[in-house]
Amino acid sequence: MTETSQDSRRRIVSSRHLATEDGWPLSEYEYGLIMAFNGFSRWMTRCMTAAGNAGMNPLEILVLHHVNHRDRQKRLTDIAFLLNIDDLHTVNYALKKLQKAGLVEGERRGKEMFYSTTQAGVELCDAYREVRERCLVDSLKVMEFDHDDLTAVAALLRNLSGFYDQASRAAASL
């Protein structure tokens, strides 16, 4: 057996048919991303439930936290841009649900709506942070996790997202 075929059996991918000779590392990364995305989504919903608000989906949670970020009003397009979401309708729907729940409010200025968290929204974000500290941040402390490594991984993820964005534009033009 060649070294290449031995190496290929040790690699963990979700779709072997996509793992070409040059594509193995990307396929391994994508599988890790799938695992991380689903784990993070599950974590967000369970953390929000523990914080006192069951039934929110991951996008609603992300939108709530971003609207609360830095205590500044934000437009729909700003929220979608920061979260790297092309479909404004999904973000708008999340905002409507958050408004109905009394967690976010909108203020019209000219033709645009600016969103901010209500006091209930701020309190829910604070409760989420407390659960996050207790269940997640404290776990990383026990593991003596290197913060510089986590920062480097975050930078790599942001950079790779740019490659995926560029590739999606190229694919759209095919």
Q: Report how far residue 135's alpha carbon sits from residue 171's, in angstroms, rounded to the nearest whole number.
A: 40
Give me the number of domains the chain comprises.
1
Query: What pLDDT score was predicted for residue 4?
Result: 52
Average pLDDT value for residue range 60-69: 98
Question: Could you tell me if residue 164 is inside a domain?
Answer: no
Question: Could you tell me if residue 77 is inside a domain?
Answer: yes
What letter would DSSP give residue 18? G
7 or 51, greater pLDDT: 51
Q: What is the pLDDT of residues 119-152, one digit of tens each?
A: 999 999 999 999 999 999 988 888 877 889 989 9
Question: Could you tell me if residue 83 is inside a domain?
Answer: yes
Q: Report how far residue 35's alpha carbon sits from residue 63's, in angstroms, rounded to the nearest whole number.
A: 22
Question: Could you tell me if residue 120 is inside a domain?
Answer: yes
Residue where the block lists tokens 């369970």: 46
Q: CA–CA distance from 32 to each of 5, 14, 89, 165 (Å)?
A: 21, 9, 28, 18
Nearest to 97 by CA among 132, 131, 73, 62: 62
Question: Could you tell me if residue 34 is inside a domain?
Answer: yes
Amino acid at 157: L
Q: Report how far residue 30's alpha carbon sits from residue 13's, in angstroms, rounded to the nearest whole number.
A: 8
Most confident of 7-16, 97-106, 148-157: 97-106
Question: Could you tell me if residue 169 is inside a domain?
Answer: no
Global pTM exceeds 0.85: yes
Question: Could you tell me if residue 100 is inside a domain?
Answer: yes
- With b meaning 16 or more CB within 10 Å and e meaning fewer, what string describes 129-167? eebbeeeeeeeeeeeeeeeeeeeeeeeeeeeeeeeeeee
**Structural domain of 65:** 11-143
CATH assignment at residue 17: 1.10.10.10
